[in-house]
């Protein structure tokens, strides 16, 4: 068992430098919120050793690193900080509950280049929010004030129908224009809400509902693993072995 992690272990500005712009300090801006969760370092998932991607990864088309954490409520929480083709700074946090919990998954993506910013901000519901309306009220409606403050950031939604189908009711996707600071502030607010939800979460008691939540979580993870275009990018830029580890880390 590893010790609680209090330091993310790298400085994003010195890890790599993109060409022609200075990316926002996504890791340092977000990590302080999450470290409150008393996280431990996760070094293995499904028998796969993650440590090779937790060091500095240097490939011709990509350079960067990954971090993976867990605690008694969080099955896995993955950070990516990667520079692709010296032009795109890619950051993400993806977090999932253990099988004993049903709180939403954290999906935060930050893809910054000289001329563009692409964001995905969501707390992905593990349960259907229509069938289980209490789920939305319990875990997601706390986002409403933040969503209302930042909903001007919403742009054209994902082109992937399977991804649109799994989104939460407070999903924010793209359209930040030059509002990079606001986009990062919104990501921070969503992470704060997720941290609050995780802290307050209690184990699921209803065994039938628990099995439903586990099944649905695994379907979400599988769809992301098999279909997320980031997966193709990671396989292509990091190679099959490191690419596979990086995908297992967040799905």
Partner 1 sequence: MASMLEIMVRGAELVNADEEFIAQMVELDNDIIFWRFEDDQPAVTTRLDKGVIVVEEGENPDSQIGMKLKAKVLLDVVDNSLEAKMMYTYTELVKGDMELARHHVFALVPYIYGMQDYYDENEEFNKMVVDKKTALGE
Q: Which residues bind partner 1 (CB under 8 A)?
A: 19, 59-61, 84-87, 115-116, 118, 159, 229, 232-233, 235-237
Which lies closer to partner 1 via its Cβ, residue 159 or residue 208? Answer: 159
Shortest distance in whole angstroms from residue 28 CB to partner 1: 26
> In 3-state terms, what secondary structure has residue 117?
strand
**Cβ atoms of residues 86 and 19 within 8 Å:** yes
**Cβ atoms of residues 123 and 102 within 8 Å:** no
Shortest distance in whole angstroms from residue 232 CB to partner 1: 4
Give the orientation angle of helix 240-250 with respect to helix 207-227, to 10 degrees. 150
Which lies closer to partner 1 via its Cβ, residue 211 or residue 232? Answer: 232
CB atoms within 10 A of CB 190: 24
What's the CA dihedral at 12, 193, 197, 32 to 10 degrees?
30
Which lies closer to partner 1 via its Cβ, residue 86 or residue 182? Answer: 86
> In 3-state terms, what secondary structure has residue 110?
strand
Shortest distance in whole angstroms from residue 56 CB to partner 1: 17
Shortest distance in whole angstroms from residue 74 CB to partner 1: 30
Shortest distance in whole angstroms from residue 1 CB to partner 1: 38
Which lies closer to partner 1 via its Cβ, residue 20 or residue 203? Answer: 20
**Cβ atoms of residues 227 and 233 within 8 Å:** no
62 bridge partner residues = 59, 84
Which lies closer to partner 1 via its Cβ, residue 169 or residue 239? Answer: 239
Expressed in angstroms, the distance from the first to the final Cα of the chain is 22
Shortest distance in whole angstroms from residue 180 CB to partner 1: 16
Which lies closer to partner 1 via its Cβ, residue 116 or residue 196? Answer: 116
């Amino acid at each position: 068992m590893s010790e609680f992690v209090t330091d993310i272990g790298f400085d994003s500005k010195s890890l790599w430098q993109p060409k022609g712009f200075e990316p926002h300090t996504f890791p340092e801006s977000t990590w302080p919120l999450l470290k409150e969760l008393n996280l431990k370092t996760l070094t293995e998932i499904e028998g796969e050793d993650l440590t090779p991607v937790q060091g500095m990864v240097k490939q011709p088309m990509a350079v960067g690193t990954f971090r993976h954490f867990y605690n008694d409520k969080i099955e896995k929480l993955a950070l990516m900080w990667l520079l692709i083709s010296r032009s795109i700074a890619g950051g993400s946090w993806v977090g999932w509950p253990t099988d004993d919990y049903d709180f939403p998954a954290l999906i935060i993506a930050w893809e910054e280049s000289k001329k563009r910013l692409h964001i995905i901000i969501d707390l992905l519901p593990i349960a259907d929010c229509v069938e289980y309306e209490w789920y939305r009220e319990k875990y997601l409606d706390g986002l409403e004030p933040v969503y209302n403050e930042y909903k001007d950031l919403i742009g054209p939604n994902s082109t992937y129908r399977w991804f649109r189908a799994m989104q939460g009711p407070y999903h924010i996707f793209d359209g930040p224009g030059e509002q990079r600071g606001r986009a990062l502030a919104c990501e921070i607010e969503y992470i704060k809400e997720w941290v609050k939800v995780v802290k307050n979460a209690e184990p699921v008691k209803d065994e039938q509902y628990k099995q439903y939540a586990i099944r649905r979580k695994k379907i979400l993870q599988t769809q992301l693993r098999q279909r997320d275009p980031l997966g193709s990018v990671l396989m292509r830029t990091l190679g099959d072995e490191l690419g596979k580890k990086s995908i297992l880390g967040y799905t």
